[in-house]
Amino acid sequence: MTTPLTPPPRKDPLKRTVSPTQPPVIRSRAALGLTAMAAEGRFALQTCAECGAVQYPPRDACSACLSTDLPWWDIAPTGQLLAETTVQTSVKQYFRERTPWRVGSVQLDAGPVVICHLHGDVAANARVRLRLLLDRAGQGVILALPQERTDHMADDPELRLMSSDPHLRRVLITDARHPFAPDLAAALQTAGATLIFAGEPENWLPNPNRSALEAAGAEILPLDVTDTKSVERMAGEIGGKTDILINTARFMRPGGVLARGGTGFARDEMEVNYLGLMRLAQAFGPAMCGRTADGVNSAVAWVNILSVHARTNTPGFGCFNASQAAAFSLSQSLRAEFRGAGLRVMNVFTGPLEEDWYQPLPPPKVTGPALARSVVSGLRDGLEDVWCGDVAKDFEERFCKNPKVLEIELGQEMGE
Amino acid sequence: MKRQSYDGVVLAAPVTIPYTRYSTETAHYWIARALRETLRAAGLKPTELDGFSVASFTLFPDTPVGLTQHLGLSPRWLDTIPMGGASGLAALRRAARAVQAGDVDIVACVAGDTNHIDSFRKLLSSFSRFAMDAGYPYGYGGPNANFALLTDRYMQEYGATREDFGRICVAQRANALKNPHAVMKKPLSLQQYMDARPISDPIALFDCVMPVAGSEAYLVMREDEAIKRNLPFAHILGTIERHNAHIEDPIQLRGGWTVDIDELWEMAGCGPDDIDLLQTYDDYPVISAMQIEDMGFCAKGEAAAFIRSHDLTVEGDFPHNTSGGQLSAGQAGAAGGFIGLVEAIRQVTHTGGPTQVPDARRAAISGFGMINYDRGLCSAAAIIEGAQS
Ligand SMILES: [Zn+2]
């Protein structure tokens, strides 16, 4: 049975913070497919397009028929534990600091045998459920879990290291004025976050979210992402205890290029949505990267809430979407820059939200509780890319099929 | 088709350069020393050697081609054997056929590796693509973790216990105490084995080899050459080799020997009962147990009972890994694939010195190599017999 985590004692400021180390990061190109699948929470392996043989470890030719056509297909995440060991000593510093480390050999029902991380609650010779997760090197790895849920199973030390679970962590929501900030705070409180900070721009003006945020236990602090000094002041105050940062700061107005009379709103959009993200990352990033091995409440994730149209634009919100594309592009750079420290960047792509600015668009739209659920489950699953709502999921499917066709279709829909 | 015999080809001049725990020298240095000794035994100058076969993990950035210039050799036949624990036997098979065909007169088969303070970790991190992608990220236990999984399954399947594996290690330590060059110098009791520090359960400290620096060599030549040079020599009665056997087995409980074992004994014209000593590849005791079974000394799953009812020391009724094996003499990289064969040549030519098994005539040697992902892929074996003088 998993020992439940307990809140860590107050940090001794005289004690050195453990420097982050990484599990092995180098992979072959084929094996990066595991990472791509894990980033979206899929359990997929290479499957021979000609003979159907499922392959593992990832490779360049089918070991049953030598075909080189090996697409990644979702397969049944179930199998049988054949053998196990507990590694007590390792020459790799990351594992040396974390032994004992349980490892198993599992035969998948789909065929191949995988050496995988083994959850502490899996019994000898048990049937297991498998997940493909990102480890602290940001690489896809396989973890075997008990078939049935067990008590406190998320607190298992191996699973905890592969997730960004908000339980017993401290979270900053950067914009308390975002219409869904109260729903996010409530969901995080329910998920066991120990502290929730909410940054409030122009905090001399009334904020209709205030009472709901306070009801969810959030502490409201002044933060304006367009003001470098304000961001730095806030980072100086709480940067050392921010384990998860959720960037909800957003400026949006409707309209494509021709619908706008000038560049004024576009400038505001870039100032908040793009440069704001950059200011936050420059102020909070280094401190968070330095605290990724800091025990139960280590820094673990950076979350961006982005419009799905960051990936392919539409004229309805064309200029706003361009700022989202800039923020998305920046997030890819950040992800690579944070990877060495094991700080995960999670992008939550949403369709239109159920709020005033998107009022003219038809349903389905994303509600506050739905966004909050996506954020919390994405953190628990340790994902990098989350597609929130039916519109975003539909978008992703079409994007994967043919991004150019999607661009044309979206342009036509909006043109009507 | 019936395989051709190795009549007329012999093994001679076995050399072991005493191992050291760490070395600041290079693989080139260790290979040069073993080569020099084996050539000296045969009265050969380096430039007279026409065949050279090399096994090494730490020659980078050089290959055996670069070694020819480095060492002043001008061979007409050159081979490199990247098969780890099966390299000694694979080198023998290739060299013997080349000598038999007349492509070459004398082949020096040499294996050597250095061991810098950090080289085991570096070697681990560059071993194979599958290990890099699907092995190391899982606890980075290296071969210890792989063999722990196999050992766990073997124990479940056949009821073997840690004590059974301990008996193999304890007997080898007793043999090593007779070998002045063994790295391990202290006696080992079964209790000490059982109480050892856990490494990767159920593997503990004395189940693991100690990486060392060292080298091994022997010569392959026609029988008339050996007689002309007044060298004691051994005949090759039979050999087998197999890679990636039993693809369908979900976890390795048997090796490639089982595929070819009947052919080995038929070619050798004898059976397990006719063998005076066995040298197995002992990177972990479970693998030696597997070889005792797969070579036909007992049935599958009965190695534990076999070990309990036999004495595996030099004086015993089943001499096994007589120089102490890798578990007690040390693992000198690719030379670990030569240690058993080189010791067997000494034994059957009665040049074993302090570890000599009295009246040893026939030896069986098995090799096992290269954990690519979840199992060892290379297996090989040979039966050799000392010449009657
Ligand atoms: Zn195929």
pLDDT tens per residue across span B210-249? 999 999 999 999 999 999 999 999 999 999 999 999 999 9
Q: In the numeric block, which tokens belong to residue A381?
A: 């699953």
Residues 33-62 of A with CB under 8 A from B: 34, 56-58
pLDDT at A415: 45
Structure tokens at A220: 């409201």
Q: How far apart are CA B255 and CA B368, in angstroms?
A: 8
A24 interface with B at CB cutoff 8 Å:
yes
* Separation CA A291–CA A285 (nearest Å): 10
Cβ contacts (< 8 Å) between A81 and chain B: which residues? none
| Chain A residue at shortest CA distance from B126 | A26
Between A30, A34, A84, which is nearest B152 by CB?
A84
Cβ density class A361-371: b for 16+ within 10 Å, e for less: eeeebbebebb
- Tell me if B140 and A90 make a contact (CB, 8 A cut-off): yes
- Flag whether pLDDT at B105 surpasses 70: yes
Cα distance between residue B97 and residue A13, in whole Å? 71
CB-CB neighbors (< 8 A) of A92 in chain B: 136, 140
CB contacts of A144 in chain B (<8 Å) are: none
CA of A62 to the centre of ligand 1 (A): 5
Shortest Cα distance from B250 to chain A (angstroms)? Answer: 6
Tell me the shortest Cα–Cα distance from A50 to chain B, in angstroms.
20
Structure confidence at residue B125 (pLDDT): 59
Residue of B nearest to A116 (CA): B138
Whether B149 has a pLDDT exceeding 60, the answer reads yes
Closest to A218 in 3D by CA, of A245, A250, A175, A186:
A186
d(CA B256, CA A313): 59
Averaged pLDDT of chain A = 95
pLDDT, residue A416, reads 40
DSSP-H helix ranges across chain B:
27-42, 64-71, 87-101, 119-124, 129-134, 142-158, 162-176, 190-195, 223-228, 257-268, 285-294, 303-308, 325-329, 339-348
Ligand 1 ion local residues (Cβ < 5 A)? A 48, 50-51, 53, 62, 64-65, 67
- The single-letter DSSP state of residue A366 is B
DSSP state of A47: B
Cα distance between residue B357 and residue B277, in whole Å:
8
Q: How far apart are CA A107 and CA A128, in angstroms?
A: 10
**Secondary structure E strands in A227-300:** 244-247
Q: Where are the beta strands (DSSP E) in A11-162?
A: 44-46, 72-74, 78-87, 101-108, 113-118, 127-134, 140-146
Tell how far the Cα of A64 is from the centroid of ligand 1, in angstroms: 5
Beta bridge partners of A346: A303
Residue A35: closest C-alpha in chain B: B133
Res B121: pLDDT: 63
What are the φ/ψ torsions at residue A328 (nearest 5 degrees)? -60, -45
Question: What average pLDDT score do residues A194-216 get?
Answer: 96
pLDDT, tens digit (0-9, with 9 covering 90-100), for A114-161: 999 999 999 999 999 999 999 999 999 999 999 999 999 999 999 999
- A117/B140 Cβ within 8 A: no
Q: What is the DSSP string of B232-250?
A: -EEEEEEEEEEES--TT-S
φ/ψ region of B102 (left if φ > 0, alpha if ψ in -120 to 50, else beta) reads left
Mutate which of B140, B253, B286 to disrupt the A interface (most A C-beta within 10 Å)? B140
Interface of A with B in 91-130 (CB under 8 A): 91-92, 94-95, 99, 101, 103-105, 107, 113-117, 125
Quickly state the pLDDT bin for A86 (edges 50, 70, 90). very high
Whether the ipTM is more than 0.85: the answer is: yes
A85, B200: Cβ pair inside 8 Å? Answer: yes
Side chain identity at B95, as an amino acid letter?
Answer: A
Sequence-ordered list of residues with C-beta below 8 angstroms from that of A44, at least 6 positions apart, any chain: A33, A37, A72, A73, A74, A75, A132
Tell me the CA–centroid distance for residue A321 and ligand 1, in Å.
43
Above 90 in pLDDT, residue B122? Answer: no
B39-86 confidence digits (pLDDT tens):
999 999 999 999 999 999 999 899 999 999 999 999 999 999 999 999
CA torsion angle B284 B285 B290 B292 (round to 10)? 130
Residue A270 clears pLDDT 80, i.e. is over it: yes
CB contact under 8 A, B134 and A56: yes
Query: Across the interface, which of B135, B144, B197 has its CB nearest the CB of A115?
Result: B135
Residues of chain B with Cβ-Cβ distance to A91 below 8 Å are 120-121, 124, 140, 142
Measure B131 CA to ligand 1 centroid, in angstroms: 22
Residues of chain B neighbouring A103 (CB-CB closer than 8 A): 138-139, 141, 145, 149
Distance A223 CA to ligand 1 centre (A): 57
- Name residue B198's amino acid: P
User: Does the CB of B65 have a partner CB in chain A at under 8 Å?
Assistant: no
Interface A–B counts its CB contacts (< 8 A) at 118
B118 touches chain A (CB under 8 A): no
B149 reaches A (C-beta below 8 A): yes
Chain A CB contacts of B205 under 8 Å are none
Q: Nearest chain B Cα to A101, which residue?
A: B139
The label of the residue with tokens 């699953």 reads A381
Q: Cβ A88–B121 below 8 Å, yes or no? A: no
Q: Determine which of B126, B133, B243, B252 to mutate to test the interface with A (most A C-beta atoms within 10 Å).
A: B133
* B251–A31 CB contact, under 8 Å: no
To the nearest whole Å, the CA of B192 is away from the closest chain A CA by: 18
Q: Could you give all domains of chain A from N- to C-terminal order, each with its CATH number? A: 32-162 (no CATH), 170-415 (3.40.50.720)
Provide the shortest C-alpha distance from residue A34 to chain B (in Å): 10
Residue B124: the pLDDT is: 61
pLDDT higher than threshold 90 for residue A199: yes
pLDDT for B232: 97
Domains of chain B from N-terminus onward: 9-118+213-228 (3.40.47.10), 138-210+233-386 (3.40.47.10)
**Is residue A26 within 8 angstroms of chain B, CB to CB?**
yes
How confident is residue A360, by pLDDT bands cut at 50, 70 and 90? confident
* Region of poorest pLDDT, from A12-16, A282-286, B34-38, B282-286: A12-16
